[in-house]
Amino acid sequence: MRHLKFFSNPRNEIETQTVNGLLQKAIFSNVPELLGQSLQARAKDFLGDARFDRFNDSMATAISSAFGGDQEEIRQRISSGDFGFGGLAKSAAPAGSGEAAKPAGTDIFSKIVRIETEQVVGANVKSPMATSLVGGWAIQFLLFALSASATSLFRERDAGIFQRILASPVTRAHILWSKFIYGVTLGLVQLVVLFIASSALYGIEVLPHLGLLAVVCLFAAAACTSFGMLLAAVSSSPEAASGLATFLIMLMSAIGGAWFPISIMPQFIQQFSKLTLVYWSMEGFSAVLWAGQSFVQVLPILGILAGITAVVMSLAIWRFNRGKIFE
């Protein structure tokens, strides 16, 4: 008996089941042919070329006489290792049996090839499905909340708040950074509360990882806040900012993996997925809650989120200083 063991990291159940199904189908479809080829090779070594050819000719003659069929074709199939077991692996259950199609030869070949699956990451996670989904929804809700908070700059401008603040020893940069710090604080609180609520409702193990999870939430909140600030900086009105925010957030959530696995998307879209803050925020949440990684292991993800924050916030400040929102 051959023994195969699959080592898996089933962070997404759909992706894992699809891959396992394709692997097992490929194995059981090829086992009969491989088995026949192995038997033919051993018989050839044992009998020699001449006796081996005569044996195959005798087998083909006997099968053709008893069951019909072209003798030369049967001999070629026997020589290639096809002893008819392939039909078992491809045959389905009888129609009308009320059962899904199942290879009739599965029971036979499962005794020849034993397949085991060992989960190497996330094996001790209590609520795997909820753990894999909560990060995507959390970051999507946060993006909407912080984008709305950033667009409040327009209402503050219309109310004349900026003119009164700028009359004091306060610069535009002070206003923008105070807004940024407020957004980061709001985002951090929202994410932590959401994860704690998910722990109470769905059994996600948050408390053992709360410290490192809070650090990831801080960097994710900073990236989301900078995104909202940039939207406010490039928009001419709160309505335009709200519409642009909805479009971009839904787009980033779709291609960033918040709704479904990016592995089922076309390859060129998967390249764009890694350019979104949704993707990297989810990677950070999964690294902590699913893989149980340490701070050092999560540092590359935190560095990417920090880089996104720095670049986007720099663009937002540059655009604000040249815009009319403070006039």
Does one domain contain both 114 and 183?
A: no
Does one domain contain both 133 and 104?
A: no
Per-residue pLDDT at 144: 86
Whether residue 170 lies inside any domain: the answer is: yes
Per-residue pLDDT at 98: 41
Whether residue 327 lies inside any domain: the answer is: no
What residues make up the domain containing 185? 128-322
**Could you give the CA distance from residue 207 to residue 131 in angstroms, rounded to a whole number?**
13
| Confidence class for position 32, pLDDT limits 50, 70, 90 | low
**Could you give the CA distance from residue 262 to residue 272 in angstroms, rounded to a whole number?**
10
Does one domain contain both 204 and 84?
A: no
Angle at 162 between CA 158 and CA 163, to 5 degrees: 95
Does one domain contain both 164 and 84?
A: no
Whether residue 295 lies inside any domain: the answer is: yes
Eight-state DSSP code of residue 69: S
Residue scoring higher pLDDT (185 or 233):
185
Per-residue pLDDT at 16: 65
Per-residue pLDDT at 220: 93
Asked if the model's pLDDT at residue 180 lies above 80, the reply is yes
| Confidence class for position 142, pLDDT limits 50, 70, 90 | confident
The runs of H, that is alpha helices, within the chain are 13-47, 49-67, 71-79, 86-90, 106-110, 128-150, 152-158, 161-166, 172-202, 210-234, 238-255, 267-273, 277-289, 295-322
Q: Which of 101, 119, 137 is the last residue of a domain?
A: 119
Does one domain contain both 233 and 289?
A: yes
Per-residue pLDDT at 67: 73
Asked if the model's pLDDT at residue 224 lies above 50, the reply is yes
Per-residue pLDDT at 222: 93
Does one domain contain both 114 and 134?
A: no
Instruction: Tell whether the torsion through CA atoms of 93, 14, 128 and 114 is positive or negative.
Output: positive
**Could you give the CA distance from residue 145 to residue 228 in angstroms, rounded to a whole number?**
9
Does one domain contain both 39 and 132?
A: no
Task: Quick: pLDDT tens for 150-160.
Answer: 777 778 777 88
Per-residue pLDDT at 133: 76
State the chain's mean pLDDT as an integer.
76
Q: Which of 89, 119, 149 is the last residue of a domain?
A: 119
| Confidence class for position 259, pLDDT limits 50, 70, 90 | confident
Q: Which of 78, 96, 119 is the last residue of a domain?
A: 119
| Confidence class for position 318, pLDDT limits 50, 70, 90 | confident
**Could you give the CA distance from residue 216 to residue 222 in angstroms, rounded to a whole number?**
10
Asked if the model's pLDDT at residue 223 lies above 60, the reply is yes
Q: How many domains does the chain have?
A: 2
Here the tokens at position 160 are 């004349």
Does one domain contain both 101 and 160?
A: no
Instruction: Find where tokens 């072209």 sit.
Output: 70
Does one domain contain both 59 and 24?
A: yes
Does one domain contain both 134 and 245?
A: yes
pTM, entire model: 0.67
